[in-house]
Amino acid sequence: MGKGEKKDPKDIQRKEKAKMQLKRNIGYFEGVSFIIGSIVGAGIFVSPTGVLKHSLLNIGVALTIWMASGLVSLMGALCYAELGTALPFCGGEYSHIKRGLGSLPAFVFIWTSTFAKPASNAARALLFAEYATQPFYGVCPAPDVLKKCLALAVLWSLGILNGLSVKMSAWVQAVFTLLKMMALSVIAVGGIVLIARQKESLARFEDMFGSEIPNASQVAEAFFQGLYAYGGWWSLNYMAEEMKSPSRNIPLTVMTAVPAVIVFYLLVNISYLTVLTPKEIVSSVAVAVTWADRVIPSVAWIIPLSVAVSIFGALNSSMFALGRLSYAGSQSGHLPLLISMLNVHSCTPAPAMIFSTIIASIFIIPSDLMMLTNYFGFSGWLMIGLTCASLIVLRYREPHLHRPYKVFLPVPFMMVAMSFFLVLAPIIWSPNLQYFYAFLFMLGSLIIYLPFIHFKLRFAFLDKITCHLQLLLEVCPADASDEGKCE
């Protein structure tokens, strides 16, 4: 082509489509549905009792903590928005920690996440199976084998879906997010109507801070519970490489989704308190079901169904993000090469989805997953702290890095302090040997890192296995992105 010839836009578009890389299929609406779908799980329907219980049934303190937890989550999401727009690569925290703090902390993160996140997904799948099968057994418990088989079926259905098509996965996420928000809207609007019609309902909020005030330790425990309910606000950065116009859509999505969840959580809790007393809420096994039995008894069945829908949507979002994390880790050489390959037909990280789904399936076998996920819960806030520390490091080390969006600098400092408080507080207040085991597991990553990552030890037979699996799965290595590969 001569110097004076113009490039055909259609030809450029065809070449772009021919590239073997993740495609930008996720827009603003899909991003909002992924964040809301990740945050809103079964908790707000089933058991929003932790905050109220540790607030000593003080309504004013409980609602304040719900608001404060949401604002902390929003601050964290805004920090992640800066990183996501400046470094729009796959992998979320992993990519940012690697860029800011180096290879070893990033490997510790992916080592821990490779086991802790699939365990959390397995727990979600089992909880979905519990709610989906229980209506058929009445007061009798559903058989464990049935629940585990259904949980495996759900895991693999979503794993295959995410491995085949990003657009289909985003469509499923949007539908299930819409359904769960409709259910929350029923509860929220029901509370507003009751307050408007019944003066005695409003009377409960006239002296909200009148009862016993909790001490600092109890407030902190309630705060833990509130932050847990907002978990998932970090999910958007795992799909930054697939976002359309990430510099615009990532901050806009965060500023829409997280405040929307805060408003809904406050309205739903007010609705619960309008119908039920604080003691009834704390003693209820499933608060939303009790609320529905009182307010809409003829269609109360809609709430258990909504819980199952909510869990399904949260599981889909979590599996989507976990596949991108595995993909990013493999691209950086921290996981086997095969996991960084894309399907030749759909340009999706199918091997990464298969890898994470297999690990989650293994975790279906044990009976007490909640213990495992709880003891690794502190590692999540440790990694959030390291990610926000990476933002601070990059501000000073790479001042000329293009940042379409910049968060107010004291915010990441506050998030680092908050994160390390949330890591250390449970260990100091309720020391347990299992925390020590979890810490040892994280340090155990060095056994893998030193020979295989630092000294680059390789086995020839693994290359042959990779070649055969590549042919079987019809996958090939990804081309470098125009913005660079996952760092």
Domain count within the chain: 1
DSSP 395-432: HHH-TTS--SS---THHHHHHHHHHHHHHHHHHHHS--
pTM assigned to the model: 0.89
11 located within any domain: no
31 located within any domain: yes
Per-residue pLDDT of 245-256, as tens digits, reads 999 999 999 999
Amino acid 262: pLDDT: 95
Which residue reads 């975790």 in tokens? 363
267 located within any domain: yes
Q: Exposure string (b/e) for 297-328, b if CB count within 10 Å is 16 or more? A: eeebebbbebbbbbbbbbbbbbbbbbbbbbbb
d(CA 143, CA 135): 13
Q: Is the pLDDT of residue 391 over 90?
A: yes
Q: Is the pLDDT of residue 3 over 70?
A: no
16 located within any domain: no
Per-residue pLDDT of 418-445, as tens digits, reads 998 888 887 787 777 777 778 888 888 8
pLDDT-based confidence at residue 11 (cuts at 50, 70, 90): low
For residue 251, give its domain range: 23-477
386 located within any domain: yes
Which amino acid is it at 259? Answer: P
416 located within any domain: yes
d(CA 130, CA 290): 18
In this structure, what CATH number is given to the domain that contains residue 392?
1.20.1740.10
Contact 419, 385 (CB under 8 A): yes
377 located within any domain: yes
C-alpha closest to that of 265 among 238, 228, 304, 220 = 228
Q: Give the whole-number percent of the chain exceeding pLDDT 70.
A: 92
486 located within any domain: no
